[in-house]
Structure 1
């Protein structure tokens, strides 16, 4: 697989991720949602200060450190991806590397620039792009936009289940975005096919 092909895949994922996030930011109120397929696939708008799937990390300084870490990881990721291509590793590993790198870049863009580019928005006001008074936060302090919600099951657990029996339960509860999904698919595929992926491919 050529490095240019990997870059095209990264660009396609970034465009999809950022286009959806831009639309969500400028067309939906915080916590607003609508059904896409039944009740189990919804668009649900939230923002988070931290990592994938809404996991938080260390307050204000944690946010800055996480953003800087993402930036360093993306830079290193490009060099590592180029190395995989140059040394002719398995095409699947290169694709997975591109997926992970694209996902990291997608959330990095939010963290770096969204605070500068958008007004805060909220529960009763839509966010505006390039507002006259400036954005809601400074450089490195943007919030990551999440919207994909798949509550595949909602209901009360049977009482015979230890500890949680009778509790109301939602599976799958985290809200995420295309970038998160891209990272997850890449990582899971590498774990599943690592024996096949981690060797150099000498074919064409």
Structure 2
């Protein structure tokens, strides 16, 4: 895959991600929900931490939420630069298309969520009990680098109750799939899934490695032949 094609894929994912988020922010109040199908809902939530709503301050109580949020955003930015370098390097080295597709998806998804974290606190008012305003005159709901990530896709495919004998959560209700996510999250998960499922295609052995393996096989064959002759 060429750099132009990878760039086009990234742009398309970013557009789909940001357009969906802009629409949700300017048409939904926080916690609003629309049931499209029984198994698919549009549910507006905001994530101010890591995956599953976890915060750095949950593990390090001495760090304030504001400092933890800034640290997380800066870490995401550094990570995106690293992923971007990996993508460009892979293209230049003519790596497998599978690897380039996967890295491009991960890069696009990570960048999509970083846009929220960096800018949304400044360009939107809050969505609590009201629909947010884009570029509010009175200022946004947070400072630069302290925005929340917008999530809206929910797939409650199955709901039930844990058996009473189940440890810790017996008798409690559950839903599968519970997390609410966005298009950027889908891109990241798809990219990682490709790397896991199609690992051999993403990281094929180089010609040099194959030559070394062939030489080793030939040496082994010669050893076996010699041993048989000696017998």
TM value normalised by structure 2: 0.82
CA contact (8 A) 1:100 1:183 kept: yes
Count of equivalent residues? 200
* 1:120 aligned onto 2:126: yes
Quote the offset at 1:100 in angstroms: 0.4
State the alpha-carbon separation in 1 of the partners of residues 8 and 53 from structure 2.
Answer: 28
Compare 153-162 and 64-73 and name the one that shifted more.
153-162
Instruction: Please give the residue correspondences for 1:1-204 in structure 2 after superposition, counting only pairs within 5 Å.
Output: 1-37=1-37, 39-58=38-57, 59-122=65-128, 124-159=129-164, 161-199=166-204
- Richer in helix (by share): 2
Quote the offset at 1:163 in angstroms: 4.8
Quote the offset at 1:55 in angstroms: 2.9
Q: RMSD value over aligned CA atoms?
A: 1.7
Quote the offset at 1:189 in angstroms: 1.4
CA contact (8 A) 1:111 1:143 kept: yes
From the superposition, tell whether residues 164 and 138 of structure 1 become closer, same or farther in structure 2 (CA, over 3 Å).
closer
CA contact (8 A) 1:52 1:176 kept: no
Deviations 1:145-169 (A, max 9, x none): 0111111111223445455443211
Structure 2: gaps of 5 or more residues? 58-64, 208-231
Quote the offset at 1:193 in angstroms: 1.3
From the superposition, tell whether residues 194 and 166 of structure 1 become closer, same or farther in structure 2 (CA, over 3 Å).
same
- Relative contact order, CA 8 A, sep 6+: which one is greater? 1
From the superposition, tell whether residues 163 and 136 of structure 1 become closer, same or farther in structure 2 (CA, over 3 Å).
closer
Structure 1: gaps of 5 or more residues? none
Deviations 1:9-32 (A, max 9, x none): 011000000000000001001100
SS of equivalent residue, structure 1 residue 46 = strand
SS of equivalent residue, structure 1 residue 5 = helix
